[in-house]
Amino acid sequence: MTPSPTLLRFGLASAALGVAFLGALLVLRGAAVGWGLIAGAFPASLVLALAGDALGGDFVGTLRTRWGTLAAQLRPWMGWLCAYAALKIPVPLWPEGFPLLGLLSTAALSVAGWLYAAERVGARRAWALAALAFAVGWGVELLGSRTGVPFGVYSYGTAPPPTLLTVPLLVPLGWFALTLAASLLAGGRAWLAGLLMVAWDVGLEPLMTAERYWLWQDPAPLWAGAPLQNFVGWWGVGTGLSWAFTRIAPGLFRRPAGTPSLRPDLSRLSFAAAYPIELFFLPGGLVLVGRFLEAGVTLGAMLAALLLARAVRGRSERGGV
């Protein structure tokens, strides 16, 4: 069975990213050859994502044509999304810079989300979405860290700055970006967006506790110190925010019309792309801090959530929902 051109490009690009990841592991072990793998494999992944299906044919011509098409379609939010991904790359090579890189990458992701929303529903609605998510995200985290409701017993006492009344600034910024990406991926289905966010948090808990952004003291830990209550709380808050998003900006969650094409078409790309980007970086980050089991579980949870979202949306488009 011959894979589709899109699947072939995705597979080749992922393989190249895997080589870059191997390079990062080698650098951490003191092997200078790792830098060469990173320098070669990362740009190769971008090239293969564009024209990997043309290997053995007119590769250069295909690459030139598709790049020209993409360059004409680039939007500002896409640049910020690329910056978000790029800021994650140095993290394993500069562990002490995690607080700064984490804040900058989350801020870049939030800017990308705001620009995406503003482009489609206007600046006023985009500000409303961002302000609501920031306020709710900061509020529930402040409440949760002081009362144990709705997530369980934890604290931000060891969180690196900048903070807002002990809550790290990147946390409420993250609530906006995560909610928007999950809601887009779910096609505006709030319950499904909540599940996507829970799967995301499966990876966030072991990574962020390892970096001491927050510490759990809950008497009934289930995963990385977090209790079942935490994931129920995440689903509830995420579902509620997603529901509010669909009421404030319903037009944001309508799927763009069009037919599939081998030619790159960025008009069909949405901010939901942040989720599969995290599907690569979040388990990878856990591997680099030695959390191999957590990395595998995170990969499985996020992939399952992604496939569920695809199945639900596919069924809806066929008229089944």
pLDDT, tens digit (0-9, with 9 covering 90-100), for 102-119: 999 999 999 999 999 999
> pLDDT tens, 50-86?
888 888 888 899 999 988 887 788 889 999 998 998 8
- Phi, then psi, of 216 in degrees rounded to 5: -90, 140
Q: What is the mean pLDDT of the chain?
A: 89
Task: Collapse the DSSP code of 314 into the 3-class scheme (helix H, G, I; strand E, B; otherwise coil) and give the result.
Answer: helix
User: CA–CA separation, 174 vs 156, rounded Å?
Assistant: 16
Who wins on pLDDT, 131 or 313? 131
Confidence at 2, pLDDT banded by 50, 70, 90: low
Q: Which of 4-13, 224-233, 260-269 has the lowest mean pLDDT?
A: 260-269
What does the pLDDT read at residue 266?
60
As given in the structure block, the two tokens for residue 201 are: 């948090």
- What DSSP element (H or E) covers 18? helix 5-28
Cα torsion angle, 77, 129, 258, 279, sign: positive
What does the pLDDT read at residue 103?
93
User: CA–CA separation, 310 vs 189, rounded Å?
Assistant: 12
Tell me which residue of 92, 85, 79 sits closest to 119, measured CA to CA. Answer: 79
Residue 155 bridge partners (DSSP): 215
Q: What is the pTM of this model?
A: 0.84
Cα torsion angle, 73, 76, 79, 80, sign: negative
Residue 164 bridge partners (DSSP): 167
Counting residues of the chain whose pLDDT is more than 70, the rounded percentage is: 93
Tell me which residue of 217, 220, 238 sits closest to 229, measured CA to CA. Answer: 220
